[in-house]
């Protein structure tokens, strides 16, 4: 089946997200040419070995020439450098989008450099794994997942419709919201859980009374789930922390207050409070399963067919 919406698509940054898009572009025959750009020679070479594109370039400026759709797939902290690099070479009428996990900062970094004759539409696919690099990508990553656009006022409706259709062809459900709201929502559903995971695994690593071999040996009991999140790419997550600072600090403050409440309930033996909280949280889990965002399988969901890798 061929559903060509863009003659030439340029992917800047060929890591987990960029390579997953490349796999889908091929699988679904969505373009005539895939141009891959990455500043890392090793990533470019690997992308070529995996045949993720048709051309491979170190220069993003050269790669975007005549591209109808440009998808920026770099860590959010690199957005401004990429925007500056490509600004002078973009095709008039091109759509420029991104996949960054934070949106207000990406807009602040990119928008000032975007020429008036291109359509800049910030986006964020809510799909991923803890892996990174060109080998981490796989076809179908975005199937059944949300992709959130945070369009700027005055965005061209045709371009928006085209990009929406593109992500829907990859299997995503598309939603729109403003960037500040996106950053708050993501701070609680994604950024805070990763920070808690990084912190708990760091705490276990620092413990002197429990040896590292015991932490690894007995990790089946809850800790293991945190280690998966805590294995996520350090560059990407450093950038998320620095570029969604306000929303993350707000969520961390609320989290600390709630943790103190739980701590107090445990200290004073207030079983009812503890039981009420745990009952409320169990209902949230049920709602997530009912919404089709996970399956109701035991052993913390593994392996259950949702994870592709």
Report the interface residues with ligand NAP, using CB under 6 A.
12-18, 37-40, 43, 60, 73-76, 78, 81-82, 99-101, 125, 128-129, 132-133, 136, 233, 236
- Looking at the Cβ atoms of 34 and 78, the one nearer to ligand NAP is 78
H helices of the chain, where? 16-27, 41-49, 60-63, 79-86, 104-110, 157-169, 179-186, 192-206, 212-217, 223-230, 234-243, 245-267, 271-290
Instruction: Tell me the closest approach of the beta carbon of residue 214 to ligand NAP, in angstroms.
Output: 30
- Looking at the Cβ atoms of 105 and 119, the one nearer to ligand NAP is 105
Collect all residues with Cβ–Cβ distance below 8 Å to 73 and sequence separation of at least 6.
Answer: 11, 12, 13, 14, 15, 17, 18, 21, 98, 99
- Looking at the Cβ atoms of 15 and 53, the one nearer to ligand NAP is 15
**Beta strand 55-57 pairing with 69-72:** unpaired
- Looking at the Cβ atoms of 158 and 175, the one nearer to ligand NAP is 175
- Looking at the Cβ atoms of 37 and 258, the one nearer to ligand NAP is 37
Place of tokens 């409706």: 157
Instruction: Tell me the closest approach of the beta carbon of residue 69 to ligand NAP, in angstroms.
Output: 16
Instruction: Tell me the closest approach of the beta carbon of residue 136 to ligand NAP, in angstroms.
Output: 6
Neighbours of 155 (CB within 10 A): 17
Instruction: Tell me the closest approach of the beta carbon of residue 178 to ligand NAP, in angstroms.
Output: 18
Instruction: Tell me the closest approach of the beta carbon of residue 159 to ligand NAP, in angstroms.
Output: 21
- Rounded to an integer, what distance in angstroms lies between the CA atom of residue 162 and that of residue 69? 10
């Amino acid at each position: 089946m061929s559903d060509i919406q863009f003659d030439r698509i340029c992917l800047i940054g060929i890591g987990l997200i960029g390579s997953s898009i490349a796999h889908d572009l091929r699988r679904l025959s969505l373009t005539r040419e895939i141009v891959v750009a990455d500043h890392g020679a090793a990533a470019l070479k690997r992308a070529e070995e995996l045949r993720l594109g048709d051309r491979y370039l170190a220069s993003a400026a050269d790669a975007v020439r005549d591209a109808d759709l440009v998808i920026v797939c770099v860590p959010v902290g690199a957005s401004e450098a990429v925007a500056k690099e490509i600004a002078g070479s973009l095709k008039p009428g091109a759509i420029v989008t991104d996949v960054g996990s934070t949106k207000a900062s990406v807009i602040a970094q990119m928008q000032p450099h975007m020429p008036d004759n291109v359509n800049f539409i910030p986006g964020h696919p809510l799909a991923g794994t803890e892996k990174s690099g060109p080998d981490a990508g796989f076809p179908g990553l975005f199937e059944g997942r949300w992709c959130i656009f945070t369009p700027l006022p005055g965005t061209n409706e045709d371009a928006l419709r085209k990009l929406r259709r593109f992500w829907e062809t990859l299997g995503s459900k598309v939603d729109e919201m403003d960037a500040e709201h996106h950053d708050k929502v993501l701070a609680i559903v994604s950024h805070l859980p990763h920070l808690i995971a990084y912190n708990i695994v760091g705490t276990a690593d620092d413990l002197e009374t429990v040896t590292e071999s015991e932490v690894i040996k007995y990790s089946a009991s809850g800790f293991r789930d945190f280690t998966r999140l805590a294995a996520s790419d350090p560059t990407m997550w450093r950038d998320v922390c620095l570029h969604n600072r306000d929303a993350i600090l707000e969520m961390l403050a609320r989290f600390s207050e709630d943790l103190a409440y739980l701590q107090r309930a445990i200290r004073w033996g207030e079983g009812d409070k503890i039981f009420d909280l745990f009952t409320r949280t169990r209902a949230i889990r049920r709602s997530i399963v009912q919404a089709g965002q996970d399956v109701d399988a035991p052993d913390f969901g593994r392996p259950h067919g949702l994870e592709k890798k």
